[in-house]
Amino acid sequence: MEKFEVKAYGTYAATKLLEPLNIERRKATPQDVEIDILYCGVCHSDLHTARNDWGGTRYPAVPGHEIVGRVTKVGSGVTKFKVGDLAAIGCMVDSCRECLSCKHDLEQYCIPGNTGTYNGRDKHLGGHTFGGYSEKIVVTEHFVLKVPANLDPAATAPLLCAGVTTWSPLRHWKVKKGSHVAVIGLGGLGHMAIKLAKALGADVTLFSRSPEKEKDGLALGAGQVIISTDQKQMLEAKGKFDLIIDTVPYIHDVNLYIPALTVNGTIVLVGYLGPLDPMLNSVPMILGRKSVAGSVIGGIAETQELLDFCGEHHIVSEIEVIKMQDINQAYERMLKSDVRYRFVIDMASLKNESR
Ligand code: NAP
Ligand code: ZN
Ligand code: ZN
């Protein structure tokens, strides 16, 4: 298979910083779209992967799955895109396309497994996939999204992961006007969850450890902010929420939030991945028919639905644009929750780098 080289940033080990490296992309096949990456959002999953928090990271790791760019080539079989179009890539670049999940537009739950935009098995070149911290990406048409023309492309990039990861549970649990939704953690995912739930007509509450974020939470669309370390405020939240979206990236006590659910309410975990500690207590779940669920990103059709919804409602992410060369400092700041509310890399900084 023909290939070409592009500049990228990645890391060779969990304990190493990200550094300049070159990677290979396949030349566009008849089904492929080649995209010149303009912007790439910085997701906490990028950091988890780079540092092997979840195990299984393949090195060198080139993260980035909130990609917006300009189409530079299309294969002869491509019908939805032409050269010059704005296009986006999210967290997946392939799936089996045949299993029950794929047939129901749930490629994220592909039974043999979807191919992650990074750290997936590259079916074309062998080895593993490399993400959006790079100049260009080549992706099969089905996994390429259309970007509404009225949205700022840099601030649109985080919709591809932070946006759809919170949109998908809002849609699955049928959030609508009058629903009571709470969001735990005001970061990349959390701030999108507030904006999207609000736009769907829900009454939104933020649970945060950070009193200094209260003003922002309200400005983003929350009707109230509960400081999760304040026991009195936590007790007052009893029985209030139909759906709670938990975006906290690290181990924490999920039991604290279950009393805040209504009867039949659901808390959906989208942040922390792994065994819970302390363990879940079934008592409030059984006595209130409450559910604890999980959810991963969203399907391709659902991601397009989100992008179109954001176009109609003029919703984008709150961003701080950074240079590719500042990625290691950005990770440190993200760990301290010092980002309002998503870093987005301007890829011109990578293209201009002489190597
Ligand atoms: P982020 O921007 O760093 O935001 C996380 C927020 O959680 C922080 O702003 C903070 O909010 C709160 N928080 C952080 N550490 C905490 C701790 N130790 N205890 C309690 N609260 C804490 O991260 P993100 O990009 O939104 O990602 C959040 C998580 O979702 C990550 O683990 C990421 O890997 C995962 N993720 C999952 C999916 C999926 O498909 N399920 C997709 C994308 C990302 P406050 O200061 O307001 O408390
Ligand atoms: Zn992500
Ligand atoms: Zn499948």
Are 246 and 257 spatial neighbours (Cβ–Cβ below 8 Å)? yes
**Whether the CB of 210 sits within 6 Å of ligand 1:** yes
User: How much of the chain, in percent, has pLDDT values that exceed 90?
Assistant: 100
CA distance 75 to 27: 9
CA of 233 to the centre of ligand 2 (A): 31
Q: Whose Cα sits closest to atom 36 in ligand 1?
A: 271
Q: How confident is the model at residue 355 (pLDDT cuts 50, 70, 90)?
A: confident
pLDDT at 324: 98
**Whether the CB of 161 sits within 6 Å of ligand 1:** yes
Q: For residue 343, list its beta bridge partners.
A: 42, 320
CA of 338 to the centre of ligand 2 (A): 17
Question: Per-residue pLDDT averaged across 232-252, rounded?
Answer: 97
Give the tens place of pLDDT for each residue, 136-160: 999 999 999 999 999 999 999 999 9
> Looking at the predicted structure, is the pLDDT value of residue 112 above 90?
yes
Give the tens place of pLDDT for each residue, 266-319: 999 999 999 999 999 999 999 999 999 999 999 999 999 999 999 999 999 999
Q: How confident is the model at residue 321 (pLDDT cuts 50, 70, 90)?
A: very high
**Whether the CB of 299 sits within 6 Å of ligand 1:** no
> Looking at the predicted structure, is the pLDDT value of residue 62 above 90?
yes
User: How much of the chain, in percent, has pLDDT values that exceed 70?
Assistant: 100
Give the tens place of pLDDT for each residue, 254-264: 999 999 999 99
Give the tens place of pLDDT for each residue, 181-212: 999 999 999 999 999 999 999 999 999 999 99
CA of 264 to the centre of ligand 1 (A): 25
Mean pLDDT of the chain: 98
Q: Whose Cα sits closest to atom 11 in ligand 1?
A: 185
Residue type, 114: N
pLDDT at 257: 98
Residues with CB under 5 A from ligand 3 (ion): 95-96, 99, 102, 110
**Whether the CB of 334 sits within 6 Å of ligand 1:** yes
Q: Which atom of ligand 1 is nearest to the CA of 294?
A: 41
* pTM for the structure as a whole: 0.98
CA of 42 to the centre of ligand 2 (A): 8
CA of 53 to the centre of ligand 1 (A): 14
